Chain A
Amino acid sequence: GNSVTQMEGPVTLSEEAFLTINCTYTATGYPSLFWYVQYPGEGLQLLLKATKADDKGSNKGFEATYRKETTSFHLEKGSVQVSDSAVYFCALRRNTGFQKLVFGTGTRLLVSP
């Protein structure tokens, strides 16, 4: 079946540190891949997406590249801020007919000043 595996959290960083949150997936075919962010007490916000192999999604300094050969979609940011503290969900959706979003378990990021 389809699944998403994310690194266990929390990830604890100091401000201006480099961030990587690992995400790997299992799916048949070529799914679309997403990163959603959930700030404390809020709903999910779409952070970025990629719909085919080698696509790079980017937004607000975050980037992720769709790597078909390693079935990965790792989230990176060059310099994190305290305001980036949140839970990050990697998700996939197959592209044939209606398909549910399949979420990873989420990774909590804590950034200290």
Chain B
Amino acid sequence: DTEVTQTPKHLVMGMTNKKSLKCEQHMGHRAMYWYKQKAKKPPELMFVYSYEKLSINESVPSRFSPECPNSSLLNLHLHALQPEDSALYLCASSKGDQETQYFGPGTRLLVL
């Protein structure tokens, strides 16, 4: 089983809202990732967690705040987003941070 789940599937939020995206995997993977994908573009890496510790932040604005409460769960807290942050947000996981990554279905975010 190589399933990564993400909720919600769709999210609409205003620029003053606070919301969170959730990602879960039960494959025993110890690395988890957040990506942002704009239309007709490949995914762009945002954050990497390895063994529940943030190991990579790709210079992402502070209005995006990741959290890894345990080895199965990854959250992305959103606050004061801009319309240009509208995108598909993808979570991925892998056994270790040098292993094959498996992606979730994504959360499609619209910021109004």
Contact A101 B48 (CB under 8 A): no
Shortest Cβ distance from B104 into A: residue: A43
Residue from A45, A46, A95, A105 in contact with B98 in the complex, judged by beta carbons closer than 8 Å: A95
Q: Indicate the size class of the contact surface on chain A.
A: 20 to 34
Contact A101 B45 (CB under 8 A): yes
Q: Tell me if A99 is interfacial: C-beta within 8 Å of chain B.
A: yes
Beta-carbon contacts under 8 Å, A61-113 to B: 89, 91, 93, 95, 97-101, 103-106
Please measure, in the bound complex, the distance between the C-alpha atom of A93 and the C-alpha atom of B55, giving whole angstroms.
17
1/0 per residue B91-112: CB within 8 Å of A?
0100001101111111010000
Contacts of A99 in B (CB 8 A): 98
Q: Tell me if A44 is interfacial: C-beta within 8 Å of chain B.
A: yes
Residues of B in contact (CB 8 Å), total 24
Contacts of B56 in A (CB 8 A): 98
Q: Tell me if B43 is interfacial: C-beta within 8 Å of chain A.
A: yes
Shortest Cβ distance from A95 into B: residue: B98
Contacts of B88 in A (CB 8 A): 43
Residue from A41, A49, A104 in contact with B42 in the complex, judged by beta carbons closer than 8 Å: A104
Contacts of B106 in A (CB 8 A): 42-43
Question: Most chain-A Cβ atoms within 10 A of its Cβ — which of B42, B92, B100, B102?
Answer: B42
Contact B50 A103 (CB under 8 A): no
Q: Tell me if A25 is interfacial: C-beta within 8 Å of chain B.
A: no
Please measure, in the bound complex, the distance between the C-alpha atom of A46 and the C-alpha atom of B101, giving whole angstroms.
8
Please measure, in the bound complex, the distance between the C-alpha atom of A49 and the C-alpha atom of B2, giving whole angstroms.
15
A-B contact pairs, 11 of them (CB 8 A): A36-B103, A43-B88, A44-B43, A46-B101, A89-B42, A95-B98, A97-B98, A101-B45, A104-B42, A105-B41, A106-B42
